[in-house]
Amino acid sequence: MATVTYLEAIRQAIWEEMERDSRVFVMGEDVGVYGGAFKATEGFIHKFGKERVVDTPISEMAIASAAYGASLTGLRPVGEFQFMDFISSAHSQIVQILAKSNWRWGAPAPLVLRGPSGGGVSGGPFHSQNPEMFYVHTPGLKVIAPATARDAKGLMKSAIRDNNPVLFFEHKFLYRRVKEELPLKDYTVEIGKARVHREGRHLSVITYASMVYVAQEAAEILQKEGIELEILDLRTLLPLDRDAIRATVEKTNRAIVLHEDTKTGGIAGEIAAIINEEAFDSLDAPIVRITAMDAPVPFSPPLEKAFLPKVEDVVREARRLLKY
């Protein structure tokens, strides 16, 4: 076992897949000599050469388009966007072409588009967004948002080996803050399967990415009051693990859905609908959504703190639900 950061886990996954399969290559803005904006591809160009570590123009549309073309020739590209906020520049290519390739004419598109998302680092409204729901709404894609180093590595390997286009959202707040012991041998994590991060019996918090740790901190506070939160880490947002969502609600009879994305149109609404359709009889209280405000992400650290979901929000709502 070796202890590595969330970022290093992603770096290892891509490196190991490039060693394992000569069809895998990386491309993106400054991924070569510079080693990537957050150093996820540091040293790659010296190991694999410029033919497999390709610096691109500053154009997300070009990266997505070139990755798609390469995938059709049998290659398995991993494209990096410096910030996932700018995935919107490639929106048309992703939702109109990549997502529909297999459905329209049976052509697999084995590619990964990855990069940092999320707030908590005072990056402002153009470098702190959570744009995942635009793509969760798009059939034909797979959307991943891991919370742990172990899952980041295992899911990245699964994404690279998958024959469908995968969008991989890496929460930048976790890059160097989360560390974990990882197996030295090769492993993968199945796409589309949630994980129980913490066992509990009184209330379920359904969440993903950095909010897993907000829920964990809230659980530690509530544990002193005899309240045991169960935390379900979704890991994959498309496809959603409906069975795991139903199972945790049937176990605890109460649910908070927590995410960093804004409320309107966020995945919390979809999860609430799933619970309503498939586990309504298990509920002893209303479903609660805890999310960011419906606003652009503030640059000011105090304003960003007010904007993002907080531990005290989870603690307050959990106490309220248990008294319902």
Please give the positions annotated as active site: 127
Contact criterion met (CB below 8 Å) for 241 and 247: no
Strands 229-233 and 195-198: antiparallel
Report d(CA 189, CA 199) in Å as an integer.
20
Report d(CA 262, CA 291) in Å as an integer.
6
The residues, any chain, with a CB within 8 Å of residue 302's CB and separated by 6 or more, are: none
Give me the residue label for tokens 């690279």. Answer: 160
Report d(CA 78, CA 119) in Å as an integer.
24
Orientation of helix 311-323 relative to helix 211-223, angle to 10° = 50
The answer to whether the Cα torsion of 201, 206, 212, 213 is positive or negative is: negative
Report d(CA 267, CA 175) in Å as an integer.
23
The answer to whether the Cα torsion of 224, 225, 228, 231 is positive or negative is: negative
> Quick check: helix, strand or coil at residue 195?
strand
Q: Hey, which bits of the chain come out as E strands?
A: 2-5, 24-28, 53-55, 76-80, 112-117, 142-144, 166-171, 179-182, 195-198, 203-207, 229-233, 236-238, 255-262, 288-292
Residue 141: φ, ψ to 5°: -100, 160
Question: 135: part of which helix (H) or strand (E)?
Answer: helix 133-136
Report d(CA 157, CA 168) in Å as an integer.
11
